[in-house]
A and B are shown apart, each in its own frame.
Chain A
C-alpha cells in the first residue's frame, strides 16, 4: 500500500507569511508525528497525535506553530508569521498504534524556505 505522503514537496515563502503543510499517513495508522530537520541536523520532534488529539505538543518551538488532525487521518502543520529560521525540512511520520515499540514510517518531507 501507499506510504506516508506529504505536500507540497517544496514551499518557498516570504518572511511574515502563513503556510500550511499537509501529511497523509498510512491508512489505518492512529499515531502521527511531525518533526523538523534543519540543515546538518537530525530530525527534531514537534508534535504527536493519537487519533484526533494532540497527545504531546512539547516540541513546538512557539505559538506560531500549530497542527491539527480533525478526522484522525490527514494532518496539517500551520506556521504563522514565518521567519527565516523556520526554513527546514518538515517530516511527518505515522505508526500503527504509537508508543516506543511501534515502527514509525516517515514521509519524504516538505522543504520549507523562508526568504
Chain B
C-alpha cells in the first residue's frame, strides 16, 4: 500500500499551459515536501509545507497543504520546457513512524515547446 498517492503519474502538455499535480494520503503528515528529480540525479527540495491550509509560492509554482494535512497540490502556471522532470511529494508521518521521508511514486512531467 502506497502511503502517498500521486496523480497523474504522467503528464505531457504544451508550453504555456497550466497544470496541477496532486499528492493524497489517508494518513496525517507533520510536514510535506515537494522535490524535483532530473535523470541521473538525486531529488532536489522545492518547498516544505507544515501548517494545514498553508499556501507557498515559488515563482510560477504554487504549493498547497490540505487543511487536514493529508494532501497537497502543486500548481504550475505557464509551464516552460525547463519545468520538465519528475516531481515527488514526500513527508514525515505525524505521531511517529520512520525517521526518514515517505515518498510518493512521482509525476513525470513533460513540457513540449
Please tell me the number of chain A residues within 8 Å of chain B, measured between CB atoms: 28
**In whole Å, how far is B45's beta carbon from the nearest beta carbon of chain A?**
6
| Interface SS, B side | loop
A41 contacts which chain B residues (CB < 8 A)? 105-106
B6 contacts which chain A residues (CB < 8 A)? 42
Per a CB cutoff under 8 Å, which of A46, A98, A106 touches B43? A106
Check: B63 CB closer than 8 A to any chain A CB: no
**In whole Å, how far is A7's beta carbon from the nearest beta carbon of chain B?**
14
A4 contacts which chain B residues (CB < 8 A)? 42
CA distance A59 to B106 in the complex (A): 20
CA distance A66 to B45 in the complex (A): 27
Interface centre among A4, A47, A106 (most CB of B within 10 A): A106
Check: B100 CB closer than 8 A to any chain A CB: yes
Of chain B, the residue at the smallest CB distance from A50 is: B99
Check: B51 CB closer than 8 A to any chain A CB: no
Check: B58 CB closer than 8 A to any chain A CB: no
Per a CB cutoff under 8 Å, which of B40, B44, B106 touches A106? B44
Of chain A, the residue at the smallest CB distance from B106 is: A42
Check: A107 CB closer than 8 A to any chain B CB: yes
The verdict on A42 contacting B103 (CB below 8 Å), with A104-B45, A108-B41 known, is: yes
Please report which residues of chain B, range 67-111, place their CB below 8 angstroms from some CB of chain A when the two chains form the complex.
88, 90, 92, 98-106
B44 contacts which chain A residues (CB < 8 A)? 106
Could you pull out 5 A-B pairs where Cβ atoms are within 8 angstroms? A42-B106, A46-B100, A59-B100, A105-B45, A107-B42
B residues adjacent to A (C-beta < 8 A): 4, 6, 30-31, 40-45, 48, 50, 88, 90, 92, 98-106
